[in-house]
Amino acid sequence: MPAPKGNGRNSRKVAPAKNHIIASLHSNHQAYFVGTENQRQLRAINALLTRPMPREHLDSIAGCSNAPELIAELRRRGLDVPCERIKFTDRDGKPCRPGVYSLTLSDRRKIYRWLAKRGAGNRG
């Protein structure tokens, strides 16, 4: 069998790899939230229980400078925390698409279940 020409990128389809990544992301979906003791994560959860929030506000409230990584860790712990891209105009009048994080109803249930097990009467 001859070796593929070039770098081999065109010799195989990319779609199955994408589907594999998407499937593995969905297989990480947990039926529960494992919880956290991290103060930044607790502040972010408390804020998101109040309302959806753009990244910049979440940075400020949680006390971090990388809210996307903070959200990624909450996702690894069992929450979905979707990010909706909204249409916005920046201060220079240019269109942009910032993300707004929110909790799903399932996320809220997971958090409240975790809080009940934790024995905490408050949200953070």
- Output the six-digit token pair for 51: 């309302």
Residue 31: the pLDDT is: 84
Residue 122's pLDDT band, with cuts at 50, 70 and 90, is low
Mean pLDDT confidence for 23-45: 80
Mean pLDDT confidence for 43-71: 97
* Alpha carbon distance 58, 12 (integer Å): 41
Mean pLDDT confidence for 46-60: 97
Mean pLDDT confidence for 53-78: 96
- Output the six-digit token pair for 82: 């979707």
Residue 17 falls inside a structural domain: no
- Count of structural domains, the chain: 1
Residue 119: the pLDDT is: 83
Residue 94's pLDDT band, with cuts at 50, 70 and 90, is very high
Residue 1: the pLDDT is: 52
- SS3 (DSSP) at 104: coil
Residue 15 falls inside a structural domain: no
Residue % of the chain over a pLDDT of 90:
69
Residue 9 falls inside a structural domain: no
- Mean pLDDT is lowest, of 5-14, 54-63, 67-76, 109-118, for 5-14
- Report the chain's mean pLDDT, rounded to a whole number: 82
Q: CA 5 from chain center: how many Å? A: 40
| Closest-CA residue to 61 (of 77, 76, 45, 85) | 45
Residue 39: the pLDDT is: 97
Q: CATH number of the domain at 123, please.
A: 1.10.10.10
Residue 25: the pLDDT is: 47
Q: Tell me which residue range forms the domain holding 108.
A: 38-124
Give me the DSSP letters along 91-103.
Answer: TTS-EE--EEE--
**Could you identify the residue written with the tokens 């909204």?**
86
